[in-house]
RNA sequence: GCCGGCGUAGCUCAAUGGUAGAGCAACCGCCUUGUAAGUGGUAGGUUAUGGGUUCGAUUCCCAUCGUCGGCUCCA
């Protein structure tokens, strides 16, 4: 895997950045009064932000793309020039966003994209054809290095100037660029493939879940098929937790305002919480997190150092206000169930506890078929509680674990929660996309606020350390990721329906039902298609529903007391005894393949 | 929340300023079938909701709701 720096030094990066300039040139030809903002390379492509007199249409994109191809063929050189602030201001005198960037550069506080920096960047411009941009580069030497058959404009979207919602909304054109036509083709294929795997589409096709106008946005209805997958996930999860020193707990969905005062949520998290409900003159809030309840379970009795670590786990359903525009299928919802747990331990146990948690997390994700992980260590944010030393120690402890366990990680400076630093784990799915699932978070805040203690060896009260963690993240998001990872073809152990029996003619129905009963008794999830369709149609339907096993039953099978196995991947092992099939199925379930 | 697109039958999608159409699914038949769609028929829509323009709106305009692509924010 190449790093970010490698990418920034790559030819592809220069090609994309240069393509962004060419695009801006084409747009400026079309709209001479356009105000241009910034246009960098990004993963898989580039964009440029514009302030235009009217909104762009898909037709405009085609026009712009065609013009770009002409400009590329014009073989224009990219010419770099270093300029003074005054010269820059003269060149960009009609470009208000550029002038703003120039001021930032001049102050030495910002780079040419307006990001804070502590080193003063020399002011440079790049010219290509009629176009000139304030830009650090680098670029290709000449537009001819951009392959006109390997670029494509993808879509237009709104984007705030400098990503700030209080500033003007600009129009952003996204494009992609590659070195060769084939690479572009591969990329577009990947986009198509991603569309096919979209969990929202598969959720409908496989009848897994839905959401509904009348219920409310961001609130998920799990249908029987989705419910079965979830049940299997949860069953495995429960067993694993019990086997690994966790206690399962259950807590209510609402709690009194004073609870959330104590926890600090009303101080730090209120904008994500729903309005209170009033019961007998007392305000109650729907929980956005489970921790305060778990803390009270801890506090329900005196704890000895011998009791620690304590691990309370709960699949706790929480509700958070999310702005309507951010909701997305199962990935971002307003009501979700976290696979939550809180660990309480002595300070000396903390390193082991973190090691354990990260290990457990990775094992859990591996069981579901994820093998490629990337960790992010998030450090102290601006708004935070706890003293510097605690933060430093905790961050060091987390980092030590990552190093010990050899998990590749990046530091997300200032990305921690207000109450402590955290490790987030992202998994890479079958298409190479990253999803954030696990999070392991230190908490300096709540043990203090709730005055948690344990009695130490010395007979005195001590403050325990606390870790929050969610491994799958939330059942909703995890399910969404699972659907996309497997394109709906879940491993047998998770598949909502495992076996479809396909009698060829009506006279085989009785035997098919007998076989079904036998398989059900062995614990398999079995259906019988005893309708009047032809066998071919029955197979097609079962394939589309992604049944892992189809068992065809005709005269021969009935005669020999067998079943003819067909797998959803098209493999056709043929006739075998019911016991042989059962052995295969149960083995694959056991091995989670 | 913001910018832009979209909302027609359970699903996928047509069509038009003048009574809304197909395929699949559903239902009722016929066929009794050997590894991805046998066949005939029936039924199904106040064109998301509420206003407005118009002789007439599903089509044009506005608002609301939902949804999609992004931005910002996150499990």
Q: How far apart are CA A280 and CA A132, in angstroms?
A: 68
Q: Using the CB atom, is residue A275 less than 7 Å from strand B?
A: no
**Nearest residue to nucleotide B3 when comparing alpha carbons to its C1'?**
A158
Distance A438 CA to B16 C1' (A): 53
Bases along strand B below 7 A from a protein CB = 1-5, 11-12, 25, 30-38, 65-75
Superfamily for A202-486? Bira Bifunctional Protein; Domain 2 (3.30.930.10)
CB atoms within 10 A of CB A75: 11
Domain boundaries, chain A: 4-191, 202-486, 499-590
- Strands A434-443 and A151-160 come out as unpaired
CB atoms within 10 A of CB A334: 20
Helix (H) or strand (E) run with residue A262 in it? helix A257-263
Its sign, for the CA torsion A538, A542, A544, A549, is: negative
Q: How far apart are CA A299 and CA A447, in angstroms?
A: 10
Domain A4-191 belongs to what topology? Answer: 3.30.980
**May I ask the CATH architecture of the domain A499-590?**
3-Layer(aba) Sandwich (3.40)
* b/e sequence A514-546, b meaning 16+ C-beta within 10 Å: ebbeebeeeebebebbbeeeebeebbebbbebb
Q: According to the model, what pLDDT value does residue A1 have?
A: 41
pLDDT (mean) for A527-539: 94
Distance A146 CA to B51 C1' (A): 53
Please say if the pLDDT value at position A14 is more than 60: yes
Beta bridge mates, A565: A551, A574
Q: According to the model, what pLDDT value does residue A3 have?
A: 67
pLDDT tens digits, residue range A394-428? 899 899 999 988 888 988 888 888 788 999 999 88
Q: Going by C-beta distance under 8 Å and a sequence separation of 6 or more, which residues neighbour residue A174?
A: A45, A46, A47, A153, A154, A155, A156, A157
pLDDT tens digits, residue range A224-244? 999 999 999 999 999 999 999
pLDDT tens digits, residue range A106-152? 877 777 666 666 666 788 999 998 899 998 879 999 999 999 999 99
Q: Which percentage of chain A shows pLDDT scores above 70? A: 98
The answer to ipTM > 0.85 is yes
pLDDT tens digits, residue range A426-445? 988 877 778 889 999 988 88
pLDDT tens digits, residue range A249-281? 999 999 999 999 999 999 889 999 999 999 999
Nearest to A154 by CA among A251, A246, A16: A16
Q: Using the CB atom, is residue A317 less than 7 Å from strand B?
A: no
Among chain A residues 488 through 517, which have CB within 7 angstroms of nucleic chain B? 504-507
DSSP structure string for A173-206 = EEEEE-SSHHHHHHHHHHHHHHHHH-HHHHHHHT
pLDDT tens digits, residue range A333-392? 999 999 999 999 999 999 999 999 999 999 999 999 998 888 999 998 877 877 888 888
- Strands A465-474 and A169-177 come out as unpaired
Q: Using the CB atom, is residue A300 less than 7 Å from strand B?
A: no
Please say if the pLDDT value at position A27 is more than 70: yes
Among chain A residues 180 through 209, which have CB within 7 angstroms of nucleic chain B? 198, 200, 204
Q: According to the model, what pLDDT value does residue A428 have?
A: 84
Please say if the pLDDT value at position A167 is more than 50: yes
pLDDT tens digits, residue range A489-507? 999 999 999 999 999 999 9
- Mean pLDDT for all residues in chain A: 92
* Cα separations in angstroms, A321 against A34, A287, A479: 37, 11, 21
pLDDT tens digits, residue range A309-341? 999 999 999 999 999 999 999 999 999 999 999
């Amino acid at each position: 895997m190449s790093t970010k720096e490698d990418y920034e030094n790559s030819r592809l990066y220069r090609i994309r950045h240069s393509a962004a300039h060419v695009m801006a040139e084409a747009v400026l030809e079309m709209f001479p009064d356009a105000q241009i903002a910034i246009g960098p390379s990004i993963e898989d492509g580039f964009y440029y932000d514009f302030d235009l007199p009217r909104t762009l249409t898909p037709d405009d994109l085609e026009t712009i793309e065609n013009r770009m191809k002409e400009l590329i063929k014009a073989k224009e050189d990219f010419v770099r020039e270093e300029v003074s602030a005054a010269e820059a201001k003269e060149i960009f005198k009609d470009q208000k966003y550029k002038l703003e960037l120039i001021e930032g550069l001049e102050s030495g506080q910002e780079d040419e994209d307006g990001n804070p920096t502590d080193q003063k960047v020399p002011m440079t411009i790049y010219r290509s054809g009629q176009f000139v941009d304030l830009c650090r580069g680098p670029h290709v030497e000449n537009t001819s290095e951009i392959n006109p058959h390997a670029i494509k404009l993808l879509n237009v979207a709104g984007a705030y100037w400098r990503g700030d919602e209080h500033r003007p909304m600009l129009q952003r054109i996204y494009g992609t660029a590659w070195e060769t036509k084939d690479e572009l083709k591969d990329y577009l294929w990947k986009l198509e493939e991603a569309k096919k795997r979209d969990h929202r589409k598969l959720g409908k096709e496989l009848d897994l879940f839905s959401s509904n106008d009348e219920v409310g946005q961001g609130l998920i209805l799990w249908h029987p098929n989705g419910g079965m997958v979830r049940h299997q996930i949860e069953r495995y999860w429960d067993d694993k937790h019990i086997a690994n020193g966790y206690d399962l707990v259950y807590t209510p969905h609402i709690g009194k305002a004073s609870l959330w005062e104590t926890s600090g949520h009303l101080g730090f998290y209120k904008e994500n919480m729903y309005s209170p409900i009033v019961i007998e003159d007392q305000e109650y809030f729907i929980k956005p997190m489970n921790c305060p309840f778990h803390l009270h379970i801890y506090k329900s009795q005196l704890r000895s150092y011998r009791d620690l670590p304590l691990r309370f786990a709960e699949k706790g359903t929480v509700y958070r206000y999310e702005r309507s525009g951010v909701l997305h299928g199962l990935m971002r919802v307003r009501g979700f169930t976290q696979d939550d747990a809180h660990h309480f331990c002595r300070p000396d146990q903390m390193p082991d506890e973190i090691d354990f948690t990260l290990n457990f997390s990775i094992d859990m994700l591996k069981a579901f078929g994820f093998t490629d992980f990337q960790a992010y260590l998030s450090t102290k944010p601006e708004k935070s509680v706890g003293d510097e030393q605690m933060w430093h120690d905790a961050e060091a402890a987390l980092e030590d674990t990552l190093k010990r366990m050899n998990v590749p990680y990046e530091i997300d400076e200032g990305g921690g929660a207000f109450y402590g630093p955290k490790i987030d784990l992202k998994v890479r799915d079958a298409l190479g996309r990253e999803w954030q699932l696990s999070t392991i978070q230190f908490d300096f805040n709540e043990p203090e606020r709730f005055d948690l203690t344990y009695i130490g060896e010395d007979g005195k009260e001590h403050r325990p350390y606390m870790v929050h963690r969610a491994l799958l993240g939330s059942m909703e998001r995890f399910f969404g990721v699972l659907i996309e990872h497997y394109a709906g073809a879940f491993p047998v152990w998770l598949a909502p329906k495992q076996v479809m029996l396909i009698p060829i003619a009506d006279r085989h129905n009785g035997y098919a039902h007998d076989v079904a009963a036998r398989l059900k008794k062995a614990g398999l999830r079995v259906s019988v298609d005893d309708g009047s369709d032809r066998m071919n149609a029955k197979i097609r339907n079962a394939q589309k529903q992604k049944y892992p096993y189809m068992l065809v039953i005709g005269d021969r099978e009935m005669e020999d007391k067998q079943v003819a196995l067909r797998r959803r991947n098209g493999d056709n092992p043929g006739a075998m005894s019911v016991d042989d099939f059962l052995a295969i199925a149960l083995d694959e379930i056991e091995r989670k393949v």
